[in-house]
């Protein structure tokens, strides 16, 4: 058996060990590689940064624990930015498993910037149905959310005094792991012509570039890398930035694996061994 | 077939399209009321899903299908978390909040973290430059992997700008074409449903 | 998180990671526990955030008038009709609720997609080119859009000019899919980093934590 066939037939658990070490070692021994803030993240930052003090920002954090690694640091950084600029934050989630993440994220960001619930921010909680809630907010916030997450009637919450629809909201921020982004673009940005900034998982991020060009989105923060850039722009050192060394190393390992796989395949074809791998897609168990 | 439900779909769908064009306050109040109804119905749909989950696992336990003790775990957790959540709530300080932080959150995030290992293994074994198209895909993917993280900038300072251009021009063009295609598909499907041409969502006739 | 919770979370994290070696009872236990806990949390959230404030609240508060009570009861009745679906003989009544629900989302989709995804995206394409290199980029975007649409147009055979256009469209698609793949790798690695961060920092305390 040639070296190429042996290489392609390697137990996949060997690859797993490389990935595991590639993640753990940089976290244990960080070198803090430099991070550049890319234009789309800078645009998101500037959109929030240029809002006048006291402006109201609706932040819908539509994600669940499966993607919290990417979106939770983003939520905290963006909300801290809002609080630093003395903006009023209205938080909500359209994911049933969202409140358990959004509630602590709002608390952490508010405590870090010395802000108070109901005075500087409110958490409306969860409501079902993406589009119905988004369009409903165009008419009446109180009809969709009679009370906030803590069962306080909205009329008795100071930060919501005089706020009942998009008309009184200056910016919408959607941090999401799903098609909720499409609907925020359809309804908040296009139908109600609100300024919209999107924070998305890296899987989704590339799909939303057309909406940046059409100005339906004013900024895009993509994945943990985007969150790390936002943290850098805020001069914070949070979970996203701390993970970037590992992100780099694992990407290099995977790129090397792709190149090695192709070189081995080429070698096998040259020696007339055929092109298929030794095992099924996942290799021997 | 199903004339009544089809008429309901038509009436509601046509009304919402019409209400889109009427900016009058009263029209929008009606619009908001219909949407709130949908919000409530959606909540019941999710309850239906959970009942279905319960039935699936109950059947496995009843028929002693392989792995049935694990189904007991699912059923017991479902009842406990639902019961506590309904009685106590789910906010900070409740038992359900503690369960969420120590069970739901780590399990959901670790399940998806497993994919990092499998995507690496699959990339090694199956990501092949067999022809021009596959090579384009592979090269772009590798450029993105390296160029969008810190190491890429360390290797070549122009990497972030180059990958940004790839996203802003060729990626944008293709994704825009897909968005327009999806949009046209959604519009035509919506119209077919409202007009009663497409009825498969109502299921088979009894 | 307090220590006991951290230990439970760490144990469950390791149970899931054990699947990397092979399928085993620890993994299956964690998997089934997750399904139950997730569904339970979902049900509790639905009750606390939708059914209680939007259905039970208005009916029990004593402040709603007859019209208000009717407007609260009607969607609740539709919801209950939907629940009847669990019984095979009661699928019929459930269809009325389903018909209402599908009607709402179809009505929303027609205008939503048409306005935001079709018209707005076409409008952003059909506009004067920028200056200098931006003109080249605008031209490339236009060519890319037209050729990818040509590829997706299956009503005519992909031959001649149409075929050549579709071929170029595939190249644009491959670059876009390559970008998506690269970003997907990035996303999956991020999820793993967060779990390893949890194990090394919150559980083992080998690395420092918090936002500074």
Nearest beta carbon to residue B170 from set C38, C109, C176: C176
The three-state DSSP-derived secondary structure of chain A is CCHHHHHHCCCHHHHHHHHHHHHHHHHHCCCCCCCCCCHHHHHHHHHHHCCCCCCEEEEEEECCHHHHHHHHHHHHHHHHHHHHCCCEEEEEECCCCCHHHHHHHHHHHHHHCCCCECCCEEEEEECCCHHHHHHHHHHCHHHHCCECCCCCEHHHCHHHCCCCCHHHCCEEEEEECCCHHHHHHHHHHHHCCCCEEEEECHHHHHHHHHHHHCCCCCEEEEHHHHHHHHHHHCCCCCHHHHCHHHHHHHHHHHHHHHHHHHHHHHHHHHCCCCCCCCCCCCCCC
Q: Judge: C172–B138 Cβ closer than 8 Å, yes or no.
A: no
Alpha-carbon gap: B187 to the closest alpha carbon of chain A (Å): 13
Nearest beta carbon to residue B179 from set C31, C71, C121: C121
pLDDT in tens, B107-142: 999 999 999 999 999 999 989 998 999 999 999 999
pLDDT at residue A279 tops 80: no
Long-range contacts of C67-74 (CB under 8 A, 24+ apart): C71/B33, C74/B37
Please report the pLDDT score of residue B118 as a whole number. Answer: 97
**Mean pLDDT on C123-139:** 91
- How far is residue B203's CA from residue C193's CA, in Å, rounded to a whole number? 44
Dihedral angle, C-alpha A111, A178, C193, C175, nearest 10 °:
-130
Please report the pLDDT score of residue C88 as a whole number. Answer: 81
Dump the DSSP string for chain B: --HHHHHHHHHHHHHHHHHHH---HHHHHHHHHHHHHHHHHHHHHHHHHHHHHHHHHHHHHHTT-TTHHHHHHHHHHHHHHHHHHHHH-SSTTSHHHHHIIIIIHHHHHHHHHHHHHHHHHHHHHH----SHHHHHHHHHHHHHHHHTSHHHHHH-TTHHHHHHHHIIIIIHHHHHHHHHHHHHHHHHHHHHHHTTS--GGG----
Which residue, among B160, B145, C207, has the nearest Cα to A229 in the 3D structure? B160
User: Per DSSP, what are the bridge partners of residue A91?
Assistant: A59, A123
pLDDT in tens, B51-77: 999 999 999 999 999 999 999 999 999
- Mean pLDDT over the full length of chain B: 93
pLDDT at residue C89 tops 90: no
Helix (H, G, I), strand (E, B) or coil at C142: helix
Which residues does chain B have within 8 Å of residue A97's beta carbon, measured at their own beta carbons?
A: 100, 104, 108
pLDDT at residue B162 tops 70: yes
| φ, ψ (nearest 5 deg) of residue A173 | -120, 130
Instruction: Give the model's confidence band at A280: pLDDT under 50 very low, under 70 low, under 90 confident, else very high.
Output: very low
A249: tokens are: 């190393």
Alpha-carbon gap: C12 to the closest alpha carbon of chain A (Å): 14
pLDDT in tens, B22-41: 988 888 889 888 988 998 99
Helix (H, G, I), strand (E, B) or coil at C157: coil
Which residues does chain C have within 8 Å of residue B47's beta carbon, measured at their own beta carbons?
A: 43, 46, 79, 83
On the CB side of A197, CA atoms within 13 Å amount to 28
> Picking from A140-149, A227-236, A255-264, which range would have the lowest pLDDT averaged per residue?
A140-149
User: Per DSSP, what are the bridge partners of residue A197?
Assistant: A173, A219
Please report the pLDDT score of residue C33 as a whole number. Answer: 98
What crossing angle do the helices spanning C91-113 and C66-83 adopt, rounded to 10°?
A: 110
Please report the pLDDT score of residue C146 as a whole number. Answer: 96
pLDDT at residue C208 tops 90: no
Please report the pLDDT score of residue C157 as a whole number. Answer: 86
- How far is residue B79's CA from residue C44's CA, in Å, rounded to a whole number? 10
pLDDT at residue C119 tops 70: yes
- Strands A219-222 and A121-126 turn out to be unpaired
pLDDT in tens, C27-49: 999 999 999 999 999 999 999 99
**Mean pLDDT on A182-195:** 96
Is the CB of residue A11 less than 8 Å away from at least one CB of chain B?
A: no
Question: In the complex, which subunits touch A with 3 or more CB pairs below 8 angstroms?
Answer: B, C
pLDDT at residue C126 tops 80: yes
Name the one residue in this structure whose structure tokens are 């934590």.
Answer: C209
A104: tokens are: 């602590």
Please report the pLDDT score of residue C85 as a whole number. Answer: 87
Please report the pLDDT score of residue A285 as a whole number. Answer: 30
Name the one residue in this structure whose structure tokens are 């339970």.
Answer: C40
Nearest beta carbon to residue C172 from set B80, B82, B174: B174
pLDDT at residue A32 tops 50: yes
Instruction: Provide the 8-state DSSP code for C85.
Output: G
Please report the pLDDT score of residue B19 as a whole number. Answer: 92
What crossing angle do the helices spanning A244-270 and A12-28 adopt, rounded to 10°?
A: 150
Which residues does chain B have within 8 Å of residue C77's beta carbon, measured at their own beta carbons?
A: none
Q: Judge: B110–C12 Cβ closer than 8 Å, yes or no.
A: yes
pTM (predicted TM-score): 0.93
pLDDT at residue B158 tops 60: yes
pLDDT in tens, A69-110: 999 999 999 999 999 999 999 999 999 999 999 999 999 999
Which helix (H) or strand (E) segment holds residue C81: the answer is helix C66-83
Alpha-carbon gap: C12 to the closest alpha carbon of chain B (Å): 6
pLDDT in tens, A177-186: 999 999 999 9
- Mean pLDDT over the full length of chain C: 92
Residues whose CB is less than 8 angstroms from the CB of residue B16 and which lie 6 or more positions away in sequence, other chains included: B31, B34, C103, C104, C107, C108, C111
């Amino acid at each position: 058996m040639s070296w190429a066939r042996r290489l392609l037939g390697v137990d996949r658990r060997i690859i797993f060990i490389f990935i595991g070490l590639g993640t753990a070692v940089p976290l244990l021994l960080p070198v803090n590689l430099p991070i550049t803030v890319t234009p789309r993240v800078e645009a998101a930052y500037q959109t929030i940064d240029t809002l006048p003090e006291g402006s109201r920002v609706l932040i819908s954090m539509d994600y669940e624990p499966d993607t919290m690694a990417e979106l939770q640091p983003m939520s905290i950084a963006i909300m801290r930015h809002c609080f630093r600029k003395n903006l009023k934050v209205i938080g909500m989630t359209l994911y049933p498993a969202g409140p358990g993440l959004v509630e602590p994220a709002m608390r952490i960001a508010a405590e870090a910037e010395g802000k108070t619930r109901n005075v500087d921010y409110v958490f409306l909680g969860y409501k079902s149905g993406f589009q119905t809630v988004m369009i409903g907010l165009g008419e009446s916030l109180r009809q969709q959310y009679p009370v906030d997450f803590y069962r306080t009637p909205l009329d008795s919450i100071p930060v919501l005094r005089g706020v009942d629809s998009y008309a009184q909201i200056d910016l919408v921020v959607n941090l999401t792991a799903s098609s909720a982004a499409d609907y925020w673009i359809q309804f908040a940005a296009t139908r109600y012509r609100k300024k919209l900034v999107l924070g998305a998982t890296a899987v989704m991020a590339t799909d939303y570039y057309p909406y940046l060009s059409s100005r339906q989105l004013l900024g895009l923060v993509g994945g943990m890398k985007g969150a790390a850039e936002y943290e850098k722009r805020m001069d914070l050192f949070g979970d996203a930035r701390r993970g970037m060394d590992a992100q780099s190393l694992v990407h290099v390992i995977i790129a090397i694996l792709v190149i090695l796989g192709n070189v081995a395949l080429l070698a096998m074809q040259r020696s007339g061994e055929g092109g298929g791998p030794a095992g099924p897609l996942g290799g021997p168990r | 077939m199903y004339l009544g439900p089809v008429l309901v779909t038509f009436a509601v769908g046509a009304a919402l399209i019409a209400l889109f064009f009427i900016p009058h306050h009263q029209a929008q109040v009606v619009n908001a009321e219909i949407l709130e109804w949908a919000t409530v119905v959606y909540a019941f749909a999710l309850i239906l899903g959970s009942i279905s989950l319960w039935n699936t696992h109950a059947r496995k336990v009843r028929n002693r299908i392989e792995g049935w003790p694990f189904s007991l775990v699912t059923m017991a957790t479902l009842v406990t978390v639902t019961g506590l959540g309904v009685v106590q709530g789910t906010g900070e300080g409740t038992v359900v909040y503690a369960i969420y932080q120590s069970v739901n959150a780590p399990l959901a995030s670790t399940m998806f973290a497993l994919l990092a290992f499998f995507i690496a293994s699959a990339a090694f074994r199956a990501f092949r430059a067999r022809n021009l198209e596959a090579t384009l895909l592979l090269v772009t993917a590798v450029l993105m992997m390296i160029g969008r993280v810190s190491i890429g900038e360390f290797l070549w300072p122009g990497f972030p700008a180059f990958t940004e251009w790839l996203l802003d021009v060729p990626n944008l063009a293709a994704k825009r074409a897909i968005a327009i295609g999806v949009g046209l598909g959604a519009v035509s499907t919506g119209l077919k449903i409202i007009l009663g041409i497409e009825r498969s969502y109502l299921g088979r006739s009894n | 998180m307090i220590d006991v919770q951290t230990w439970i979370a760490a144990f469950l994290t390791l149970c899931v990671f054990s699947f990397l070696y092979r399928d085993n009872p620890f993994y299956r236990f964690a998997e089934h526990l997750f399904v139950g806990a997730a569904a339970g949390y979902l049900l509790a959230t639905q009750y606390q955030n939708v059914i209680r404030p939007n259905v039970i609240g208005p009916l029990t508060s004593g402040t709603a008038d007859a019209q208000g009570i009717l407007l609260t009861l009607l969607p609740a009745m539709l919801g209950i009709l939907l629940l009847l679906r669990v019984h095979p003989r009661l699928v019929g009544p459930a269809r009325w609720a389903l018909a209402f629900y599908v009607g709402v989302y179809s009505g929303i989709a027609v205008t939503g997609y048409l306005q935001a995804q079709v018209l707005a995206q076409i409008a952003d394409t059909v506009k004067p080119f920028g200056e200098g290199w931006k003109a080249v980029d605008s031209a490339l975007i236009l060519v890319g859009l037209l050729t990818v649409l040509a590829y997706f147009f299956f009503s005519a055979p992909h031959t001649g000019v149409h075929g050549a256009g579709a071929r170029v469209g595939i190249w644009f698609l491959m670059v876009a899919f390559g970008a998506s793949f690269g970003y997907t790798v990035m996303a999956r690695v991020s999820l793993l980093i967060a779990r390893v961060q949890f194990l090394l920092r919150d559980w083992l305390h080998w690395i420092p934590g918090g936002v500074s």
